[in-house]
Amino acid sequence: MTETRKLTIAAVADLHVKEDDDSSYKEMFAEISRLADVLVIAGDLTDLGKPKEAERLAADLQSCSIPVIAVLGNHDHESGMVDEVSSVLIAAGVKLLNGQPAEIDGVAFVGVKGFAGGFGRHMLGSFGEAAIKAMVAESVDESMRLENAMRHVRSQRAMVVLHYAPVIDTVEGEPREIYPFLGSSRLAETIDRFPVKAVVHGHAHRGTYQGKTPGGAPVYNVAAHVEKPTGKPYALLEL
């Protein structure tokens, strides 16, 4: 039987590319291309969700010679121009996931943005004002979108790509008062219904690099600001 080739995945989040910032990710993307087979960006590619920010990122991505997979984050929604931002990124070759899988060399990447809602017994319930119910409904919808995508996965190796955290482990380090806004256990409940090799997310800039779901799936907070074993803004994972 032929041994399955492992895939090296570089994962990063929260690049927050700004329209008026002269800094560049070209060198980082070129370096990643030498070290990894796939680049995953787990949300907040732009700072204010403006097409010009996406264009700056697209220009930097020209130095990336490997496939790029991404999900959008909350910052990418800020200006209400998600379609325009998405079009720029897709035109630059980014495989933008929002409730569907993409397979590369035997590894399925399944991505949704996720949403807030809290963790464990402190998770927000659908009770009271319409605004609270709408917030919970959004959280449930994102989890259902993830579940529907996972049902289409046929590969034995799957990575889930989120922006919001599915577990409390990887948001530790942030102020406890904002935990409910950093993710939701509903995502972990969905993940644990399927065989998942790894989960990556961002959003919690001051969080913790590694955790796991109640079912044991490894979870990695790959926000650029979080310290990683590579000593770089990105993590390197093998699947």
- What b/e sequence results for 25-54 when a residue is b if at least 16 CB atoms lie within 10 Å of its CB, and e otherwise? beebbebbeeebbbbbbbbbbbbbbbbebb
- Position 3 scores a pLDDT of 53
Q: Could you count the other beta carbons within 10 Å of the beta carbon of residue 154?
A: 8
| 64-84 mean pLDDT | 98
Return the percentage of the chain with pLDDT > 70, whole number. Answer: 99
Q: Which two tokens stand for residue 227?
A: 């310290």
Mean pLDDT, the chain, whole residue set = 95
User: Distances in Å between the alpha carbon of 234 and those of 116, 131, 225, 226?
Assistant: 24, 36, 9, 9
Segment 151-169 mean pLDDT = 96
Where in the chain does DSSP place strands (E)? 8-12, 38-42, 68-71, 94-96, 100-104, 107-111, 157-161, 198-201, 210-212, 218-221, 235-238
Q: What is the pLDDT of residue 176?
A: 95
Residue 167 has pLDDT above 90, yes or no: yes
| pLDDT attached to residue 232 | 97
Q: Indicate the residue type of 68.
A: V
Q: Who wins on pLDDT, 169 or 126? A: 169
pLDDT interval class at 105 (50, 70, 90): very high
CA 143, 228, 158: angle at the middle one, nearest 5?
35
Can you tell me the mean pLDDT for 59-67?
97
Position 8 pLDDT exceeds 70: yes
